[in-house]
Structure 1
Amino acid sequence: MMLRKVSAAAAAALVLSLTATACGGDDKDSDSGSGSGSGDKIKIGIKYDQPGLGLKEPDGSFSGFDVDVATYVAKELGYKPDQIEWVETKSADRENALARGDVKLIAATYSINDERKQKVDFAGPYLLAHQDLLVKADSDITKATDLNNKKLCSVTGSTSAQNIKNDLAPKAQLKELGGYSECIAALQSGSVDALTTDDSILAGFAAQDKYKGKFKLAGLKLSNENYGVGVKKGDTATIDKVNTALEKMVSDKSWQKAVDDNFGPANYKNEPAPKIGTIVK
């Protein structure tokens, strides 16, 4: 009987020891901070469904401007590409993902605004985008008022198209669809005359091989969208490191290369790289 008790106690101690070791291993793998190159990982939130910005490819790899920016930043923090764990971060969950610690950074067309700054901190901005229109390459739509009596597509729940109708083209006919891919298909078929959202998003979709040469941006600047890298509220050390990385990315021309690689076609004329800490209203 004594032997059995001792064996049970030893087994329990072994389980506790293994559990502690496993927990320690998990903490190290998900730790975002040291970038020691010794097996640590960094989790970065991106979009999975935005060509040219954040896209999960059929082979499981990731592409886009946000991905290129995040990869560069991670490198400067001490992480190799294979130490990055990409996490799909939908717009509605970005603040919660940072607060929960699901990700260390978010680079996902994350516009800096006062409401969001109450919940998270931002490094950057790293891109100044604008609300714009995407039209067919031979379209005669050149300004927002041309949309009167035209069909304008946007994604369900977006305010972009409604803002145009309210302020610029009251006779525009709004058509809401489930996603940008559906709006692009409707534009190609002629069932809508234009699509509106951020010019960077529009350019990314239009740059896909199957659409090259078929669409163009109108070149309007209907709003200013300052994309920043989201960081957990109060993590000033990480913000400083990310800002330093972004400045280096601009100075060594990697930033412009990423713009050219991801947004080339569709008449996209990017703004110069923003100055860190400067928000264009």
Structure 2
Amino acid sequence: MRTLTRMAAALAASAVAITLAACSDTSSASGDAASSGSGDAGSSDLSFTVADSVDLTGSDTYDAAKSAGTLRVGVKEDQPGLGYLDAITGERTGFDVDIARWIAAELGFSEDQIEFQTIPSANREQALVNGDIDYYVGTYSITDKRKEQIGFAGPYFITGQGLLVAADNTDITSEDDLAGKTVCSATGSTPLQNIQENFPDTKTVPFDTYSQCVDALKDGSVDAVTTDQAILIGYAAQEPDALKVVGEPFTEEKYGVGVPKDDAALRHFINKVFTDGGDTWQKVFDADLGSSGITVQQPAVDDYE
């Protein structure tokens, strides 16, 4: 089934003229360059040099994508600053989206060869197992349980449960200041459960989505919003005059790139991209999340066998 799907994609791709960018084995990001992709594949003002000579042997995923002329990438679309789809323009933006675009360029795929697919969190492993996508980038925490089904490159970002407050709030600087406060998080989420179980003097308000929590924070209905700090940084970057992230993460989540479990070659390749591309990683972070005011460092990868 995967071969048939790839053949169909290859036939469709053959009708499209592909123009590769500058010839280089390493990619670069420029905050001054305009994105050259289509509306679906485009992102911020970052541009990545597409490699014209890729040394990747033993990856069935890469071989199939190269044959088809299309790279299928799973992402999210509802997280500002990380993975967001503008319903009007069709433009995808965010840190995770740009990480995905950077990897694609290093694999030798231009913007118009990327096929982004929105995959819900609950369906990520199955999409990789089924061969529906080639890799996934979208606040995907590395866990031993998930490694039973798929592989992970990275981590490319380490975060944890954090706190978002109003920009003029001086009462809450960390989780130590939550006693007597009202905190919002998503219904049934791990961050909400953590507050309820470990912060008994803190009132919690659940909503279906984090955007509803942010609206409640802005109208003064709650004192703080809590979830992964990376997600909160995205909201703060979107409205830096109204919102800010305070304190340090008080749990730990390591975000990785999900790949097919048996494709160690692809996993090692992506890990090398991260290890050798510190300057590019920093440019991506600065472009997408830098306005939040948070300073972070790129983590070392876990290039397991």
Normalising by structure 2, what TM-score? 0.77
| Aligned residue in 1 for 2:256 | 228
Distance 1:60 1:76 in 2: 24
Moved more, 147-156 or 40-49: 147-156
How has the CA–CA distance of structure 1 residues 79 and 172 changed in structure 2, closer, same or farther, with 3 Å as cutoff?
same
CA contact (8 A) 1:36 1:78 kept: no
Q: Aligned partner of 1:113: which letter?
A: T
Distance 1:49 1:238 in 2: 27
Note the C-alpha offset of 1:24. 6.7
| Correspondence 1:25 to 2:51 | no
How has the CA–CA distance of structure 1 residues 268 and 278 changed in structure 2, closer, same or farther, with 3 Å as cutoff?
farther
Moved more, 38-47 or 92-101: 38-47
Q: Secondary structure at the match of 1:190?
A: coil
How has the CA–CA distance of structure 1 residues 122 and 45 changed in structure 2, closer, same or farther, with 3 Å as cutoff?
same
Taking only the aligned residue pairs, the percentage that are identical comes to: 41
| Aligned residue in 1 for 2:293 | 267
| Aligned residue in 1 for 2:135 | 105
Structure in which a larger fraction of residues adopt helix = 1
Distance 1:218 1:278 in 2: 32
Structure 2: 5+ residue stretches without partners: 14-59
CA contact (8 A) 2:235 2:243 kept: no
Q: Secondary structure at the match of 2:155?
A: strand
How has the CA–CA distance of structure 1 residues 181 and 36 changed in structure 2, closer, same or farther, with 3 Å as cutoff?
closer
Q: Residue 55 of structure 1: which of 84, 90, 105 is its match? A: 84
Note the C-alpha offset of 1:263. 1.1
Distance 1:79 1:63 in 2: 18
Note the C-alpha offset of 1:91. 1.0
CA contact (8 A) 1:32 1:42 kept: no
Q: Secondary structure at the match of 1:207?
A: helix
Distance 1:103 1:124 in 2: 18
Normalising by structure 1, what TM-score? 0.84
| Aligned residue in 1 for 2:95 | 65
CA contact (8 A) 2:167 2:240 kept: no
CA contact (8 A) 1:39 1:83 kept: no
Structure 1: 5+ residue stretches without partners: 1-21
Distance 2:5 2:194 in 1: 50
| Aligned residue in 1 for 2:104 | 74
Distance 2:5 2:205 in 1: 50
CA contact (8 A) 2:271 2:303 kept: no
Distance 2:250 2:229 in 1: 10
Moved more, 62-71 or 36-45: 36-45
CA contact (8 A) 1:125 1:227 kept: yes
Q: Aligned partner of 1:119: which letter?
A: Q
CA contact (8 A) 2:9 2:70 kept: no
Distance 1:24 1:71 in 2: 20
Deviations 1:31-57 (A, max 9, x none): 952388776101101101111111112
Q: Residue 214 of structure 2: which of 184, 188, 191 is its match? A: 184
Distance 1:278 1:240 in 2: 6
Deviations 1:51-110 (A, max 9, x none): 111111231121111111111111111111110000001111111111111111000000
How has the CA–CA distance of structure 1 residues 101 and 38 changed in structure 2, closer, same or farther, with 3 Å as cutoff?
closer
Q: Aligned partner of 2:285: which letter?
A: V
CA contact (8 A) 1:56 1:62 kept: yes
Moved over 4 A (4+): 29-32, 35-39
| CA root-mean-square deviation | 2.3
- Aligned counterparts, 1:123-162, within 5 A: 123-139=153-169, 140-162=171-193
| Aligned residue in 2 for 1:11 | none
Deviations 1:192-244 (A, max 9, x none): 11001111110111211xx2211111122211111100011111111112112
Q: Residue 152 of structure 2: which of 122, 125, 136 is its match? A: 122
